[in-house]
């Protein structure tokens, strides 16, 4: 689930936005840590102006919190908030899936199938070596492509940004899901079922399957979190 702005965006603000966002998602900026404008400006070799813009955008997307005159920090998340976000996400993506089933055009199906295949290949690789960073990154990218394809097919101008508001913040924990045994296969299965329901233009089934898929992901993640309470503490911003 990456943003619309491609990483090689020519303007500085978008470049900083992509960089900081990736830094947050991949764990280089830990939750609770401060994002000082001057520091980021030096890191990305530009002035504070585009940095400000990037940070404010991240704020409006819920990845960082800024307090007036006190600056920005990476938003810490409690287990409770993660669960809530996944519940909203389930509803939003479920709705998107039902729209996709109703509204898709033939060309969309090609894109969807390609995303499906990519995810299955990534799954195979992931089953062999799930601690290879490149493999994990490919898994996440393939997963994002599948979900993005459905958002596009829904023909709903705004739903993409709405889904991102719910999805992006918990993305920090994404990696945890891949370590749960069976989760990769489960995801692949659901992706296929969802694609089938959408292809057959069955909105209700597509919605139900998507809701269940997302809730599965929620539970896997929460299970992984409580298995690593110290990690949970870390991500909640309670530095030790």
Partner DNA sequence: CATGGCCGGATTGTGCGCAATCGACGGCGC
Partner DNA sequence: GCGCCGTCGATTGCGCACAATCCGGCCATG
166 forms part of the interface with its own copies (CB under 8 A): yes
118 forms part of the interface with its own copies (CB under 8 A): no
Q: Which two tokens stand for residue 62?
A: 């819920």
Least distance in angstroms from the C-beta of 155 to its own copies: 9
Give residues with Cβ within 8 angstroms of 157, minimum separation 6: none
48 forms part of the interface with DNA (CB under 7 A): yes
What is 44-63 written as a DSSP string?
TTS-HHHHHHHHHHHHHTTS
68 forms part of the interface with its own copies (CB under 8 A): yes
59 forms part of the interface with DNA (CB under 7 A): no
Q: Which of residues 15-44 bind DNA (CB under 7 A)?
A: 34-38
Question: In the chain, which ranges are E strands?
Answer: 34-35, 64-67, 71-74
> In the chain, what is the straight-line distance between the N-terminal and C-terminal CA atoms, in Å?
31
Q: Which bin fits 129, alpha (ψ -120 to 50), beta or left (φ > 0)?
A: beta
Residues that bind DNA (CB under 7 A): 10-13, 34-38, 46-50, 52-53, 66, 68-72
Residues that bind its own copies (CB under 8 A): 11, 49, 52-53, 56-57, 60-62, 68, 81, 84-85, 87-88, 91-92, 95, 156-159, 161-162, 165-166, 169
């Amino acid at each position: 689930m990456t943003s619309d702005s491609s990483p090689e965006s020519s303007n500085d603000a978008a470049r900083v936005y992509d960089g900081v966002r990736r830094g947050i998602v991949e764990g280089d900026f830990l939750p609770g840590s401060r994002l000082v404008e001057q520091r980021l400006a030096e890191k990305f070799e530009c002035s504070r102006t585009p940095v400000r813009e990037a940070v404010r955008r991240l704020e409006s997307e819920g990845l960082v919190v800024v307090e007036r005159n006190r600056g920005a920090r990476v938003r810490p998340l409690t287990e409770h908030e993660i669960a809530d976000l996944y519940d909203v996400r389930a509803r939003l993506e479920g709705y998107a899936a039902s729209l996709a089933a109703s509204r898709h055009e033939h060309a969309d199906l090609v894109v969807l199938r390609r995303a499906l295949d990519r995810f299955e290949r990534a799954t195979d690789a992931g089953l062999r070596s799930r601690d290879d960073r490149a493999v994990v990154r490919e898994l996440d990218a393939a997963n994002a492509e599948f979900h993005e394809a459905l958002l596009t097919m829904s023909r709903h101008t705004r739903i993409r940004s709405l889904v991102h508001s719910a999805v992006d913040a918990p993305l920090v924990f994404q990696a945890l899901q891949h370590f749960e045994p069976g989760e990769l296969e489960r995801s692949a299965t659901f992706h296929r079922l969802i694609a089938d329901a959408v292809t057959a233009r069955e909105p209700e089934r597509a919605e139900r399957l998507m809701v269940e898929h997302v809730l599965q992901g929620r539970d896997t993640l929460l299970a992984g979190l409580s298995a690593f309470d110290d990690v949970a503490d870390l991500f909640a911003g309670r530095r030790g």
